[in-house]
Amino acid sequence: MDGLIRGLVDVAIGGNERRGRDDEDNSTRDERSRSSWADVVSGEEEDQNRGGGSSHPSQGRRQNVEENQWENKGERVPTRHPHKEEQEENTYAAKVTQQQDFSESQQEDNDGWETVGKKKPARQSHKVQKEQWQDYKLPASEQHYSDDVETHGNLEPSQLELSGLSEACNKLWELDSNRLVPGNDYQIDCGDGKRVHERADMAEGLLFSWVSDEVFRKPTFARFCSLLDNYNPNEGYKEVVTEEERQEQSAFIEEVSRTAVIKYLHKYLVIKDVAPGSYQEFKRMLTSLWFDLYGRGGTSGSSSAFEHVFVGEIKQSGGEQVSGFHNWLQFYLEEAKGTVDYQGYIFPRRRGEIPDSETQLLTIQFEWNGVLKSVSSTLVGVSPEFELALYTMCFFMGREENHIQLGPYNVNVKCYRLGNNRIGSAFPIAES
């Protein structure tokens, strides 16, 4: 009996000791857990402070630099001397952000905002037919072109058009017989909307659901697309133009010169005493205006109007940033290759004007080669000759800001010059 009692006492004492040790262990683990959680929270805050809330350090730093540039409205970094049009694109994004922030302060929730459809799973990349592009490298005189468009006397600028840039630009819109029809020639899925400062990807799928193969059989479209891969996207990289690429440039200008919009442009500029009366001289003027190389990013011969406006460039100094890149065909082809990640449309300034699959003037956000373009406007479905004519018209006859009407759209075409005879940048902005 005494042995039994001693055994029970030992068990009780040992259990208390073990419970005491367990309590100590649990307390230690709790302290370690609290300490680890504090470290995690502290680390997240440090990462957010370093990267603007981004989970990817390099992307966070890149976004932080960009946001500072937007907020500073183009304020120059001491070690960098940006072109005026680059500052203006930053200023434009800053203005959009301010307007959206004001709207958000008026009504904190999203009540009243609508979204377009539901996000879809990522679709397969598109495959673009390029077989005929090789023929465009032949000497321009050996190539086959479309017949000249029949003018029927409707290409003479009216007095109203000659007295107003908006009327002249709208005439170009009306003459663009190659403009595509949404739902018939292509389909877009805008996904969901966002504000400029938001970094979440609001479009799980691609912007372009599909584009008809027939689009790339249109001569001006095909020749335009064949030019897009002639450039290095890194700003400051000295371009080397081969003889074959020069043939492509000449052949493209020759092809578009047979369309109504370019013929009208020529007649208009001749009357205004801006362009030569000779059509051959006019074509050489267009080639020089759009394809002659000039310096950007501190390197001579590293850029051109065509490259900046239609292809796009990636600035390295002062933080990576996409500049230019305002053409929908370039967007489509890069999206098809997987180098563009569409991240949603930017909420319009006025509620009730949410874009849909029929919209042909979009303000969007995307990444190109992993570099963010916070806000970009583009005309979707228009022909290459129309954009070439529109920006050329605004460059010669307009100002830096050109408030015009294009069909159903109120547009501000921003156009900046480098010196007296070079296009630094040109792009559309949707106006409310």
Q: 396, 346 in Cβ contact below 8 A?
A: no
User: Does residue 108 carry a pLDDT above 50?
Assistant: no
User: Does residue 403 carry a pLDDT above 60?
Assistant: yes
Phi-psi region of 381 (alpha: psi -120 to 50; beta: other; left: phi over 0): left
Percent of the chain scoring above 70 in pLDDT:
68
Percent of the chain scoring above 90 in pLDDT:
56
Amino acid 196: pLDDT? 87
| Mean pLDDT calculated for residue range 327-349 | 93
User: Does residue 73 carry a pLDDT above 70?
Assistant: no
Contacts 24+ apart (CB under 8 A), 69-77: 69/318, 69/319, 69/321, 70/94, 70/97, 70/196, 70/374, 71/97, 77/317, 77/318
Of residues 393 and 296, more confidently modeled: 393
User: Does residue 49 carry a pLDDT above 50?
Assistant: no
| Mean pLDDT calculated for residue range 320-342 | 95
Average pLDDT over the chain, rounded to whole? 78
User: Does residue 86 carry a pLDDT above 70?
Assistant: no
- Tell me how far apart the alpha carbons of residues 399 and 412 are, in angstroms, rounded to a whole number: 11
Length of the chain in terms of residues written = 432
User: Does residue 27 carry a pLDDT above 90?
Assistant: no
Tokens 């200008």, residue located: 253
Q: What pLDDT band is residue 93 in, cutting at 50, 70 and 90?
A: low
Amino acid 350: pLDDT? 67
SS (H, E, C) 184-226: CCEEECCCCEECCCCCCCCCCCCCEEEECHHHHHCHHHHHHHH
- Tell me how far apart the alpha carbons of residues 285 and 310 are, in angstroms, rounded to a whole number: 18
Structural tokens at position 2 = 């005494």
| Mean pLDDT calculated for residue range 117-146 | 68
**Helices vs. strands in the chain: H and E counts, helices first:** 12, 13
For 152-173, the pLDDT digits (tens) are: 568 999 999 999 999 999 999 9
Amino acid 76: pLDDT? 36
Contacts of 329 (CB under 8 A, 6+ apart): 221, 224, 225, 228, 384
Amino acid 231: pLDDT? 95
User: Does residue 70 carry a pLDDT above 60?
Assistant: no
User: Does residue 317 carry a pLDDT above 60?
Assistant: yes
Contacts of 173 (CB under 8 A, 6+ apart): 179, 386, 406, 407
Amino acid 5: pLDDT? 47
Of residues 225 and 79, more confidently modeled: 225
| Mean pLDDT calculated for residue range 54-80 | 39
User: Does residue 148 carry a pLDDT above 60?
Assistant: yes
Burial of 403 (0-12, 13-18, 19+ CB in 10 A): middle
| Mean pLDDT calculated for residue range 26-44 | 38
Of residues 359 and 114, more confidently modeled: 359
Contacts of 188 (CB under 8 A, 6+ apart): 182, 207, 208, 209, 357, 359, 362, 380
Amino acid 89: pLDDT? 57
Q: What pLDDT band is residue 236 in, cutting at 50, 70 and 90?
A: confident
Residues catalogued as catalytic: 308, 326, 373
Instruction: From 239, 240, 234, 206, select the one nearest 324 (Cα to Cα).
Output: 234
User: Does residue 383 carry a pLDDT above 50?
Assistant: yes
